[in-house]
């Protein structure tokens, strides 16, 4: 008889893989069998990296006026939760992944923001909610060697939607983007 297992749950797999193919999620989590996938274009990673660097250390009013006052404290924050029990099983799980940015608000609470390239759609809020809640859980319930950032009082999606192109010279092209903030209501019973 085998001993109990401790399974890794990534916030993105909890969101996209679970919604897209529950069997694929099970195989990935239980047996580390990856679903065949099409790699995302590198442009999305490049944009996220540029945004993280640009906003690092900036006040929240530079991100969006609807954010509570605070400062961007961490860009691409690696998070790992302590292990937790799966009801009805002897096995445990932990959450591990990378959030886009973490904000420390002036009231000493924290916010988790995920960057999205595109136009916000309400049907995506529920989908991304699980991902943001997973990051929040890991920050509030960290593994022994991880930093605790608690309480997490704000979860949000910051959308960048290209709206205009400008070109000052033949070698440089710029996109102006509309920035929209979608707050995701934090639900303590999600995990």
Q: Is 131 part of a structural domain of the chain? A: yes
Report yes or no on whether pTM surpasses 0.75.
yes
- For residue 176, give its domain range: 6-184
Question: If you average pLDDT over every residue of the chain, what do you get?
Answer: 92
Q: Residue 39: its pLDDT value, please?
A: 74
Per the structure, the count of domains in the chain is 1
Q: Is 190 part of a structural domain of the chain? A: no
Q: Is 172 part of a structural domain of the chain? A: yes
Q: Is the pLDDT of residue 162 over 60?
A: yes
Give the domain CATH number at 13.
Answer: 3.90.320
Q: Is 191 part of a structural domain of the chain? A: no
Q: Is 108 part of a structural domain of the chain? A: yes
Q: Residue 184: its pLDDT value, please?
A: 96
SS3 81: strand
- How does pLDDT run across 122-156, given as a tens digit for each residue? 778 888 999 999 999 999 999 999 999 999 999 99
More confident residue, 38 or 78: 78
State how far the Cα of 181 lies from the Cα of 83, in Å rounded to an integer. 32
Q: What percent of the chain has pLDDT over 90?
A: 76
| Lowest mean pLDDT, pick from 92-96, 126-130, 186-190 | 186-190
């Amino acid at each position: 008889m085998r001993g109990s297992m401790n399974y890794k749950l990534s916030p993105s797999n909890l969101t996209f893989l679970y919604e897209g193919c529950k069997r694929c999620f099970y195989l990935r989590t239980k047996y580390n069998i990856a679903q065949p996938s099409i790699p995302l274009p590198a442009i999305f990673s490049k944009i996220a990296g540029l945004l993280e660097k640009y906003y690092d250390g900036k006040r929240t009013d530079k991100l969006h006026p609807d954010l509570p006052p605070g400062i961007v404290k961490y860009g691409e924050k690696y998070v790992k939760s302590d292990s937790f029990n799966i009801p009805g099983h002897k096995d445990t799980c932990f959450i591990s992944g990378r959030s886009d940015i973490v904000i420390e608000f002036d009231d000493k609470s924290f916010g988790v923001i995920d960057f999205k390239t595109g136009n916000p759609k309400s049907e995506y809020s529920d989908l991304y909610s699980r991902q943001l809640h997973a990051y929040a859980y890991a920050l509030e319930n960290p593994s022994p060697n991880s930093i605790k950032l608690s309480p997490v009082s704000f979860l949000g999606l910051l959308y960048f939607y290209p709206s205009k192109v400008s070109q000052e010279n033949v070698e440089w092209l710029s996109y102006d983007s509309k920035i929209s903030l979608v707050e995701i209501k934090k639900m303590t019973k999600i995990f």
